[in-house]
Chain A
Amino acid sequence: DAGVTQSPTHLIKTRGQQVTLRCSPISGHKSVSWYQQVLGQGPQFIFQYYEKEERGRGNFPDRFSARQFPNYSSELNVNALLLGDSALYLCASSLQGNGPIDSYGYTFGSGTRLTVV
């Protein structure tokens, strides 16, 4: 079975540009979460979507937006890129969207490394 797939794997953008990152969850998983991991730090929660609805939002500016499609894949959009947006963007899928995360935890994709120059 395919795991969580993310595209593209690497991306270089210029300040002020916009970027769209894509994620396909594990088959059967209905929840997708997005995390930003700056070099040397732990991942920080950006968004969670479950059954196509936003279920949680982290402390990120409105330049960050996301959506989930009927097939449960998801896109993360970042507008007006800043140098500080350079990071590894991780997508994680899980079976459920509410209640404690089960013992299988999240399964992370391999990430998209975004460099803003």
Chain B
Amino acid sequence: QKEVEQNSGPLSVPEGAIASLNCTYSDRGSQSFFWYRQYSGKSPELIMSIYSNGDKEDGRFTAQLNKASQYVSLLIRDSQPSDSATYLCAVNVAGNAGNMLTFGGGTRLMVKP
């Protein structure tokens, strides 16, 4: 069983719509949660981090965390064609083994003009 699961997509939304990306994780000890955006052929770029249950907003992006349901989501409002990329959910379980991130497989988002 994968530790971090994402729907691979592609998720296709029209320009201006809300894109909703979802992620589930298996380790209840997870403490930190991150969303990275990765354009084709490029390295991941951090767009959001969240630590506590609830919502966290940053511009057009809102991250939502529900630890009881082991669920993290990312909402992108007013989606733009430039948002077309793969979105990676990453989870951190801090411990004696350092602070590694466990990534999901990513969801490919396509925003159509």
Contacts and interface: CB of A to CB of B under 8 A. Distances in A.
Interface residues of B, number: 27
A94 interface: yes
B99 A105 contact: no
B42 interface: yes
B40 to A, nearest CB: 10
A42 B106 contact: yes
Chain A interface size range: 20 to 34
A96 to B, nearest CB: 7
A7 to B, nearest CB: 14
A101 B104 contact: no
A31 B94 CA distance: 14
Contacts of A90: 43-44
A33 B32 CA distance: 17
B100 interface: yes
Given A42-B105, A43-B88, A98 B46 contact: no
A33 B100 CA distance: 8
Name, among B6, B31, B49, the residue most crowded by chain A CB atoms within 10 Å (CB to CB): B49
A72 interface: no
Q: Closest 8 CB pairs between A and B?
A: A55-B98, A42-B103, A56-B98, A48-B98, A108-B43, A56-B97, A105-B46, A100-B31
Given A31-B98, A42-B90, A92-B101, 18 more contacts: A33-B100, A41-B105, A41-B106, A42-B6, A43-B44, A48-B98, A55-B98, A56-B99, A57-B97, A97-B98, A98-B94, A101-B34, A101-B92, A103-B49, A105-B46, A105-B90, A107-B46, A110-B43
